[in-house]
Every structure is written in structure tokens, then in C-alpha cells.
Amino acid sequence: MNAPVKRHWLDGIEQTVANLCLASLVLILAAQVFFRYVLSIGLSWSEEVSRFLLVWFVYVSASLAAQKGTHIRVTVLTGWFPGGQRACLLLADALWIFFNGVVVVAGVLLIRQMLQHPVYSTSLFLPMVWIYTVIPLAHGLMIYRIVARQWRAWRHDEPVINDTHAAGPPSKPPAASATPGRST
């Protein structure tokens, strides 16, 4: 029996940020509907803020999915891969880490450019650099999460993919049942 794996303080950050973004998004959109249709007053800032919250929610949730091993994957051919499923998932994660690394570098370059030449949002005049910061941040967290999951898979024999929620064919075919009125 394996000992429980000690978790890092960073493990709850994505869940907290994603929950705050989603709750704020729902509250702001509900307020917008109330103000527009009940009070006949439009909130000029609600669409912009909800868009920014949605962007942050999506990126942070992608990192959360990588942490939990529920990020979308195509695993149909992993059993046919030379070296088996474990080697296939390791290769796929290495490619994923490379892609995330490219996005982190591009995101940092974008942030640097936006700090030199500021761009502001339309309604609230917020510096857009704060919105775009989520790109390298979330992809950097994804790299950390992918490496951590692979480490736990190799060190503690935890699964790389959390497929408890995976939809697919049942593991055993259903038992044949006789249909009344038909001969077999």
C-alpha cells in the first residue's frame, strides 16, 4: 500500500481562482440582466468584466484539469503504442509541455511588449496586460501540473489520467437477454 502523497500549498490555487471567477461572472451577469430588464439601466462595464473573468476562468480551469488528470485526451490508440500506454502518455505529455513552453515564452514576450506600449480596455480603461498575464501564468502552471502528475505516476504509481468520469463503452458487454416473442 502506498503512503499518501504530501500535497503542495499551490494545489488549491486553481480551484480557488476558478471558483471566484465563475461566481463573480454569474453575479455580474445576473446583475446586468436585473439592471437592464427590471430597472431599464444598462451597466456599461459588465460585459467587459464578464469577458475578462471568462478568459481567466478558462485558462485557470485548463490548469486545474491538468492537475486533476481530467484534461481532454485522445487515448484510443495508446494500447497499440510501442512501449504501452505509459510510454505513450509520457510522450504526449512531453509534447504538451513543449507546446506550453512555447505559449509561456510567447505570453511573456506579449506581456513585455504591452508593458512598453500599454493597451487599455474600452470601458474601464484597465491595462490589458493584467488580462493577458493569465496566458503565461496558466500555461506555466500546466507545465508544473503535467510534470507533477508524471512524477507521481512514476514514483507513487498514481494514474496519469483520471478516467473515473470518462464516458465510453462499458468494460463488459451487457448480458444477452431473451426478448419475449422472439425465438433465438
**pLDDT at residue number 174:** 46
The whole-angstrom separation of Cα 31 and Cα 49 is 12
Backbone angles phi, psi at 122, to 5 degrees: -70, -50
**pLDDT at residue number 136:** 96
Strand partners, 127: 120
Strand partners, 45: none
- Tens of pLDDT along the chain (184 residues) come to 455 555 666 778 888 899 999 999 999 999 999 999 999 888 889 899 999 999 999 999 998 888 877 776 666 666 676 777 777 778 888 888 999 999 999 999 999 999 999 999 988 899 999 999 999 999 999 999 889 888 877 776 666 666 654 444 444 444 554 555 554 4
How crowded is residue 134: how many other Cβ atoms within 10 Å of its Cβ? 21
Closest of 73, 74, 70, 90 to residue 82, by C-alpha: 90
Whole-model pTM over 0.85: no
**pLDDT at residue number 82:** 74
The whole-angstrom separation of Cα 20 and Cα 26 is 10
**pLDDT at residue number 153:** 75
Closest of 93, 85, 100 to residue 148, by C-alpha: 93
